[in-house]
Structure 1
Amino acid sequence: MDVELRGITKRFGPVTANDDVNLTIRAGEVLGLLGENGAGKSTMMNILSGLYSPDEGQILIDGKPVDFEGPGDGIAAGIGMVHQHFMLVPVFTVAENVILGVEPTGRFDYLDLATARKQVRDINEKYGLQVDPDALIEDLPVGIQQRVEILKVLFRSAEVLILDEPTAVLTPQEVEEFFGIVKSLRDAGKAIVFITHKLHEIIEIADRINVLRGGRITGEGDPKTLTENQLAEMMVGRPVSFDVKKGPFDPKETLLEVKNLVVLRENDEIAVNHASFHVRSGEVVGIAGVQGNGQSALIEAVTGLHHVTAGSISFLGKDITNASARERHRMGMAHIPEDRHKSGMISNFTIYENMVLNTYYDDRFSNGPNIKWPEVLKTAAQYAIDFDVRTPSVYLKAGNLSGGNQQKMVVARELERETKLVIAAQPTRGLDVGSIEYIHSRLMDARDEGDGVIIVSSELDEIMSLSDRILVMFEGRIVAEFDATAGPVDKNAVGLAMAGAHE
């Protein structure tokens, strides 16, 4: 099935998200779609899937115009969208999630779960997805949950699959397996739109690339001949440097000391198992590990968001093991959380309210019972400019921003104040190359100005390029440490430690 978007324009008030866009999607091809945060990629795909209606232009399927009045029409036409944030019911099985809304029924309209499981197995085998239909979603790793989302659209007979930032939360190993699935879908004749910010991935997986900037298609080309630098410049409109610029390594006093830390999960299983490490002024400590090996619990314990079962945490020479998150914040600890929706922002609050969520009570913004709103608005507007948060106004609700712009809003709030220790968990997840370049430079500025910096990232390249020391976590323990100041660290050695093959 071939799809053509012709002259698509979509406006939201004074903002033009898509401006006269022309795009062709062909069967048996992976179309890579690149663009900065807020470039209009997701809006265009929401139009294609029926979630939005265009203000101008039309969609053609196999040369015939179609008019979608809702996502049901898009699904009926054979278009399926796998969203960046999974839409799964954790306590349901794989099969139950896949059939939700289109349940097969038998005699007397009873749910025919046996047929559903067989259909899911058949799709599994056809495309090599390797998912157990009877497994509970909450028990599955992120990479397998991604496959369940693909199963859902294939179950609905999708011929066009829109993959929105599909590798954002996958490990390098899971990405490799996922690419195998994408290629098998392409070889089976499916048309695939692959939306990402990761240039090396789109060069590897795409058959053709289109670039969006400012709501318009500004470039296209063959991934076999385009370089990452060329793509980055097409996206951002200027040359982008991929080299992280660091000042000389000159660590000073110890700022944070963690000793024999034990943290339990909600089910009382050990998440962090007697972890000990320290962070000094003027250094970046990267924490590497396959997702689910205790990194999240460790960071939440250090920032005061998770109860500590045993061990101690000291910051600036003071025991903060039982201190509140606000106390740690006031001491100069900044936290860019792993999940911005859960811990970093309130979607129904405006951008300016989110910009002062953890400082509204300071003298700068408060005179006691009243908040100084003019100062809040002025500050929020400056933060948005400094961090290139793409928005028509700081009065906009944060939930209406693109994912990347939400992330930049959170990063701006945390870094635009006096800090001693910056804890950044997945700081560039979902960001475009220009934003990544800027946030990396701000983290390095903090380090060069004497802050300690902790970085947790699923991107091993990010850990290796930013860190002065690298710690590797496996099954809740810190199992290896690498000195990145003495020369390049062996990536294979780090990867082996992440897999548990450590000395």
Structure 2
Amino acid sequence: MTEPRLVVSKLHKRFGGLIAVKGLDLSLYPGEILGLIGPNGSGKSTVMQMIMGIVPPTAGQIMLDGRNIAGKPIYEIARAGIGIVFQHSRPLRLQTVLENILLGLLPDRIDRLRPPAGALDRARAIGAECGLGAVLDRMPGTLAFADLRRMEMAKAIARDPQVVLIDEPFAGLTRGEVEDFSELIGRFRDHGRAVMLVDHNVKSIASLADRVVALYLGEKIAEGSPVQVMRNETVRRVYLGGGIETHERPEAEIAAHKVLLRVDAVSLFYGKAQALDAVSLTVHEGEFVSIVGLNGAGKTSLFNAISGLVPFRGTIAWDGVVRSGESAASIARSGIVQCPETRELFGSMSVAENLELAGQKFSESEKVARLAWLHELFPILQARGEQEARTLSGGEQQMLAIARSLMLKPRLLILDEPTLGLAPVILGQLSEALRRLRETTDITVLLGEQNVTFALPHADRVYVLEHARIVWQGSPARFAAEAGEGYL
């Protein structure tokens, strides 16, 4: 490791008024794995796309072996020695696995379409190296999800790149498959390739990478060994928030109430990718339960299963009755209301119209009373009543999304990442609203959060979701004592 193979200097990317990457400097050496981490919206994927030429940088340099490739066409960058493994598999579905790999060995000239001598043997060797030896003659559509990901790896290295960019390699994989892929990526390094790795599975990156760069809102906030970066106070604050406070109610008080929601051994797949693996949990009536986990852990998938938005295996019992084949609308009418991470407001409708639409099943007097209560909970919504929802700030939109969900008078309110991308002053207002809900109503809340310091003060019980599985459960106080240190 004498000279870096790839050097990024003052890299900047603007999408309209949004600065996605700001003044980024980083280097990547031969025989090294560099992990790129950060919450959603940090700019990780944008950095990889600029290096590969998928999007042009607004400013800055990308030097590959001393040559500036910033803004060059993708094919030139690929010829120069950079390969990328995308998160989503994109095979040629009418060709076998072997033929998909062989495509990367063909000359990239229109007048030379025949594979060179030895290409077939080379393709078989690459397939075997990536764990595909037994499925080379099969069609991509018949492969397991992990084998599809292996094929994407094989396609990328068929052109013998010296720099390999790998986006979310561990998404949708089981624990055993994550270990297999870590070994495969490690072999790329052993062969002298420079590897840049992006994934939400921070622990897997930390166990594999030689160095880690942490991004937040497009800027580098830390760089160093995995241990150094994971212990960095700025990184921990970005992922965890500030200091941990807990205010759980006595366990006996919660246990005295009936179980309102029971999730038993629920597994969920998106195609062949596993998003949940035998997840079980219980929520008592009136209880506030927090599901904490990093992005990609499976929180949204769990909530979508409970809300009837996606099919799943296992059982979900609501108020003592096992659900079976109910529509999402029926589930919502029964009292389970989800406030999604994406908010899903009607942007061209006013704040008042969004709320009135949610309260259309109530009598006029009940609707007026409900609106008055919500305006007391979120005063800004009354002041913004005639304003179109799409013109609100991010924090105001989040308040409206929560208020619209509460307008439906839910028995169980599911809040999915309500703090995502919000300023500290807004977090304080949301925290105060949850405190009032907890102290003045009998509502039950299931909160999914990456921000531990927001989630724990509003929790009676905590589940930690990691890589599609529940890996810890207990009281917030126990989490602070036992699990908090190992969360990242």
TM-score range, shorter chain: 0.5 to 0.7
The answer to whether structure 1 residue 362 and structure 2 residue 358 are counterparts is yes
Measure how far apart 1:168 and its partner are.
3.0
2:259 aligns with 254
CA contact (8 A) 1:35 1:235 kept: no
CA displacement, residues 95-141 of structure 1 (integer Å, 9 cap, x when unaligned): 34445687679xx9888799876433211344666562233434433
In structure 2, what is the equivalent of residue 82 of structure 1? 85
Give the Cα–Cα distance (whole angstroms) in 1 for the partners of residues 269 and 69 of structure 2: 53
**1:73 match: secondary structure:** helix
Residue in structure 2 matched with residue 148 of structure 1 by the alignment: 151
Contact 2:449 2:455 in 1 (8 A): no
**Alignment partner, residue 374 of structure 2:** none
1:458 aligned to 2:458? no
Q: 1:51 aligns with which of 45, 54, 73?
A: 54
Query: CA offsets, 1:410-464, max 9 Å, x none?
Result: x999799854346799x89x99xx998555567667764xxx999976344xx23
Corresponding residue for 1:328? Answer: 331
- Match for residue 31 of structure 1 among 27, 30, 34: 34
1:193 aligns with 2:216: no
Distance 1:219 1:327 in 2: 47
Contact between 1:95 and 1:116, CA under 8 Å: does it hold in 2? no
Matched, 1:11 2:14: yes
In 2, the alpha carbon distance for the partners of 1:323 and 1:219 equals 47
Q: Give the Cα separation in 2 of the matches to 1:34 and 1:297.
A: 22
Match of 2:411 among 411, 420, 425: 420
Name the aligned partner's letter for residue 39 of structure 1: S
Contact 1:95 1:134 in 2 (8 A): yes
Q: Aligned residues, how many?
A: 416
Residue aligning to 2:167:
164
Distance in 2, matches of 1:41 and 1:308, equals 31
* Larger Cα-atom Rg: 2
SS in 2 for 1:374: coil
Q: For 1:53, what is the secondary structure of its paired residue?
A: coil
Shift of 1:51: 0.8
For 1:21-420, what aligned pairs fall within 5 Å after superposition?
21-88=24-91, 93-99=96-102, 118-126=121-129, 132-223=135-226, 226=228, 228-230=230-232, 233=235, 236=238, 240=242, 247-249=249-251, 250-251=254-255, 252-256=257-261, 280-281=284-285, 282=287, 303-305=307-309, 315-316=318-319, 321-334=324-337, 361-363=357-359, 374=387, 376-377=389-390, 381-382=394-395, 419-420=410-411
| CA deviation string 1:6-40 (max 9, x = no partner) | 22222112222222222111111111222332222
Check the 8 A contact 2:34/2:212 in 1, yes or no.
yes
1:12 partner amino acid: F
Aligned equivalents of 1:259, 1:465: Cα separation in 2: 16
Unmatched 5+ residue regions in structure 2?
272-276, 292-298, 365-384, 428-447, 484-488
AA in 1 matched with 2:58: D
TM-score after normalising by structure 1: 0.62
Contact in 2 for aligned 1:244/1:466 (Cα 8 Å): no
Give the partner amino acid of 1:49. M
CA positional deviation for 1:191: 0.2
Cα distance change on mapping 1:53 and 1:313 into 2, 3 Å: closer
Distance (Å, rounded) in 2 between the aligned partners of 1:256 and 1:54: 48
The residue matched to 1:36 in structure 2 has which SS? coil
Matched position secondary structure for 1:174 = helix
Q: Structure 2 vs 1, CA of residues 216 and 111 (structure 1 numbering), >3 Å: closer, same or farther?
A: same
Work out whether residues 40 and 212 of structure 1, in 8 Å CA contact, stay in contact via their aligned partners in 2.
yes
Aligned partner of residue 167 in structure 1, secondary structure: coil
Contact 1:4 1:23 in 2 (8 A): yes
Whole-angstrom CA distance in 1 between matches of 2:50 and 2:5? 16
Separation (CA, whole Å) in 2 of partners of 1:199 and 1:260? 25
- Give the letter aligned to residue 182 of structure 1: I
| 1:42-85 alpha-carbon deviations (Å, 9 max, x no partner) | 21211110012122222211112235433222212211222233
Instruction: Call closer, same or farther: CA 1:302–1:6 in 2, change over 3 Å.
Output: closer
- Which amino acid is 2:394 matched to? A
Residue 171 and residue 442 in structure 1: after superposition, are their counterparts in 2 closer, same or farther (change >3 A)?
A: farther
Cα distance between partner residues in 2 of 1:131 and 1:248: 56
Is the 8 Å Cα contact of residues 424 and 456 (structure 1) preserved in structure 2? no
Residues 350-374 of structure 1: per-residue CA shift (max 9 Å, x gap): 9889x99x9894248999xxxx983
